[in-house]
Structure 1
Amino acid sequence: MLQHYFQGTSALALDGKGRMTVPTRHREMLDALSKGELTLTRHPTGCLRMYPRPIWETFREKLIALPMSADGWKRIFLGSAMDVSIDGAGRVLISPELRSASGLVRDVLLMGLGSYFELWDPIRYAAQDAEVVAQPMPDALANAVL
């Protein structure tokens, strides 16, 4: 399988129809990896996750195999999943339901996190970021980076 690593943050804006332009620096890899086919879904942190379709399909199979005790989490991930395609202008449409669930109105932060992306409302992200940095760094991470 093609090596794929997405990283970095892009400050973007949704247009009046809820479309977001995928930065050029990610489009070539997304085209090679998934022919521009993506899946958007909710995440419990309040953001959206955007997966290249093959990555989503692997994650989806793991979700489907979970026991009934995980049905609530299945609803969050599978129940809100929407397949989208990058259009000829390099945009993806974010449904009104997903925009509402994640608080996306106009400004969006697109963050590459390895094999997938997160989409954040900047205000929600700032609050989440403050929570994270207020906690001590986990030992596993501290040992890996220091």
Structure 2
Amino acid sequence: MKSVIQGLISVFQGASSLSLDAKGRLSVPTRHRAALSVDGSPLTVTKHPHGCLMIFPQPAWEEFRSQFASMPMSAQWMKRLFLGNAMDLEMDGAGRILISPELRQAAGITKDALLLGMGSFLELWDAATYAEKEAEAMKAEMPDVLKDFSF
């Protein structure tokens, strides 16, 4: 399984502006469909503390869940956030996934959304929230960890 996960590390990249339909369904961009539903397995969606949702293909979710499950009791609230809110979803024949009302509400997503590739998973943001956070990040000073990075 490790080799499958390693093969997914750089699969998801780029941004897609999307709209959820009236039922809360998200049409997954064609370029991500096969990688999200590895061998027809479900994908997993969960909350992220920054206010977005994380969408994982099953192999990447298994590794993420395993790492989080082994964390100490001091991380119990983060375990609740990530693991306790995780939902397995099936993609329908049209390439759509139904985002639960609870998860949509947690991320503030009503209609317009932004899907961002983050390597082994995708982030789903409310479009306006992401634009605000990106503008703040662009004004902020570069983190120390990136100061010696050559662009």
Query: TM-score w.r.t. structure 1 length?
Result: 0.92
* Alpha-carbon contact 2:36-2:56 (below 8 Å) kept: no
Question: Of the candidates 55, 61, 65, which is equivalent to residue 56 of structure 1?
Answer: 61
Q: Find the counterpart in structure 2 of residue 132 from structure 1.
A: 137
SS at match of 1:83: strand
- After superposition, give the CA deviation of every residue in 1:9-50 in whole Å (9 maximum; x if it has no partner): 10111111110000011113334x352521000001000000
Identity of aligned residues (%): 52
The one of 25, 34, 37 aligned to 1:19: 25
1:143 aligns with 2:148: yes
Matches of 2:101 and 2:68 in 1, distance apart? 24
Q: Which runs of 5+ in 2 are unaligned?
A: none
Q: Which has the higher strand share?
A: 1
Bigger Cα displacement from structure 2, 131-140 vs 100-109: 131-140
SS in 2 for 1:6: coil
Change (3 A) 1:48 1:34: farther
Is this contact kept in 1: 2:35–2:57, CA < 8 A?
no
Report the AA paired with residue 26 of structure 2: M
Q: 1:10 to 1:36 in 2, by over 3 A?
A: farther
Structure 1 residues 112, 76: closer, same or farther in 2, change over 3 A? same
- Classify the secondary structure of the residue corresponding to 1:133: helix
Residues 73 and 34 of structure 1: is their aligned pair in 2 closer, same or farther, counting only changes over 3 Å? farther
Equivalents in 1 of 2:137, 2:47: separation in Å? 20
- The code of the aligned residue for 1:89 comes to A
- Runs of 4+ that moved beyond 6 A: none
**TM-score by structure 2 length?**
0.89
Q: For the Cα contact (< 8 Å) 1:34–1:53, is it kept in 2?
A: no
